[in-house]
């Protein structure tokens, strides 16, 4: 009698599929690059494999904040154009071994970025890292569109000022229209990160209050980063604030925000505040 041999099936190797996060804003100078570095470092400090990618071609700054400016040999454009392998361009952080940087080019223009090239690089990074964090240029030009193109989720960085809120509202519209997810009929998860917040100035009516900002933009609040000189001091010495000043209030705020990105942090409970003059002016103008 012929014995039947059991069929052997090859074990399927599950490819890593990291999440792509774009950190974006409508207005420059709101703390987008420092937030990219801080969130990236905070996630890496929890053991996640993280790469931060600078899309601000021509105005490279993320390497400075990460303290890696002297280690840049190849960059994102070199990889896109096939002039270097991805492994050659990645810079591993010396402080956190699960953190890496892919710098932008200072000598090329944004036309060097191509949709196919960016898609290929992002696809490779997804397989190597848990988080691919794209530092977008401010505004809606080509670099910003390509930075958000392949994102699974977005962090919209704003200051509590009318101009920042207005421009962020436009960016939210772009996220709902110009991403690959939007084109396939899906919505991209969006989170609000409020930076440089001073509750004393808010009570005086000098800046917008938290609940006013949340009401206007209508996306979930990821975190509130308090106004502090520690952020600038850390950036000046080439360290994300979570590494350069780990015990400071902004460092703790970024660490808490990173936990929320992972779905592990507690929600932010907001005390209801009276609407300020800036809110009334903004909503009247919008109407």
CA atoms of 16 and 40, how far apart (whole Å):
18
What pLDDT is attached to residue 270?
55
Handedness of CA 50, 42, 221, 156 (dihedral sign): negative
Does 11 reside within a domain?
A: no
Exposure of 108 in the CB half-sphere (CA atoms within 13 A)? 20
Does 4 reside within a domain?
A: no
Please determine, for residue 4, whether its predicted confidence score (pLDDT) is greater than 50: no
What pLDDT is attached to residue 28?
85
What pLDDT is attached to residue 160?
94
Instruction: Estimate the crossing angle of helix 32-45 against helix 249-261, to 10 degrees.
Output: 70
Does 13 reside within a domain?
A: no
Q: Are 113 and 66 in contact (CB under 8 A)?
A: no
Does 261 reside within a domain?
A: yes
| Mean pLDDT score, 14-36 | 88
CB atoms within 10 A of CB 131: 25
Does 53 reside within a domain?
A: yes
What pLDDT is attached to residue 32?
94
What pLDDT is attached to residue 3?
45
Ramachandran sector of residue 82 (left: φ over 0; alpha: ψ -120 to 50; beta: rest): left
| Mean pLDDT score, 104-116 | 81
| Mean pLDDT score, 232-239 | 86
What pLDDT is attached to residue 284?
40
What pLDDT is attached to residue 13?
43
pTM over 0.95: no
Does 217 reside within a domain?
A: yes
Please determine, for residue 256, whether its predicted confidence score (pLDDT) is greater than 90: yes
CA atoms of 106 and 114, how far apart (whole Å):
17
Please determine, for residue 250, whether its predicted confidence score (pLDDT) is greater than 90: yes
Does 2 reside within a domain?
A: no
Handedness of CA 189, 174, 31, 127 (dihedral sign): positive
pLDDT in tens, 128-183: 999 999 999 887 888 899 999 999 999 999 999 999 999 999 999 999 999 999 99
**Which of 106, 93, 28, 45 shows the shortest CA–CA distance to 66?**
93
Please determine, for residue 27, whether its predicted confidence score (pLDDT) is greater than 90: no
Does 181 reside within a domain?
A: yes
Please determine, for residue 6, whether its predicted confidence score (pLDDT) is greater than 60: no
What pLDDT is attached to residue 109?
67
Domain CATH number, residue 256: 3.40.50.300
Tally of domains within the chain: 1
Q: Which domain holds residue 71?
A: 19-286
Three-class HEC string of the chain = CCCCCCCCCCCCCCCCCCEEEEEECCCCCCCHHHHHHHHHHHHHHCCCCEEEEECCCCCCCHHHHCCCHHHCCCCHHHHHCCCCCHHHHCEECCCCCCEEEECCCCCCCHHHCCHHHHHHHHHHHHHHCCEEEEECCCCCCHHHHHHHHCCCEEEEEECCCHHHHHHHHHHHHHHCCCCHHHHCCCCCEEEEEEEEECHHHHHCCCCCCHHHHHHHHCCCEEEEEECCHHHHHHHHCCCCHHHHCCCCHHHHHHHHHHHHHCCCCCCCCCCCCCCCHHHHHHHHHHC
């Amino acid at each position: 009698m012929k014995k039947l041999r059991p069929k052997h099936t090859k074990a399927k190797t599950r490819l890593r599929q990291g999440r792509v996060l774009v950190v974006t804003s409508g207005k420059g100078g709101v703390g987008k690059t420092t937030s990219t570095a801080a969130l990236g470092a905070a996630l890496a400090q929890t053991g996640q494999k993280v790469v931060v990618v600078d899309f601000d071609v021509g105005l490279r700054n993320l390497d400075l904040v990460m303290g890696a400016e002297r280690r840049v040999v190849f960059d994102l454009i070199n990889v896109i154009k096939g002039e270097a392998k991805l492994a050659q361009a990645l810079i591993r952080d010396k402080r956190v071994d699960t953190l890496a940087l892919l710098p932008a080019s200072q000598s090329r223009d944004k036309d060097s970025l191509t949709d196919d090239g960016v898609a290929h690089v992002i696809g490779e990074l997804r397989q190597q890292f848990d988080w691919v964090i794209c530092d977008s240029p401010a505004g809606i030009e080509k670099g910003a569109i390509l930075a958000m193109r392949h994102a699974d989720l977005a962090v919209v960085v704003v200051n509590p000022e009318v101009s920042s809120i207005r421009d962020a509202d436009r960016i939210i519209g772009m996220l709902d229209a110009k991403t690959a997810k939007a084109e396939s009929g899906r919505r991209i998860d969006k989170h609000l990160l409020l930076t440089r917040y001073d509750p004393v100035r808010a009570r005086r009516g000098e800046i917008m209050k938290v609940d006013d900002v949340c009401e206007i933009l209508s996306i979930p609040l990821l975190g509130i980063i308090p106004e502090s000189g520690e952020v600038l001091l850390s950036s000046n010495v080439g360290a994300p604030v979570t590494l350069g000043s780990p015990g400071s209030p902004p460092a703790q705020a970024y660490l808490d925000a990173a936990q929320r990105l992972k779905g592990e942090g507690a929600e932010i409970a907001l005390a209801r505040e009276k609407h300020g003059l800036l809110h009334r002016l903004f909503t009247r103008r919008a109407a």
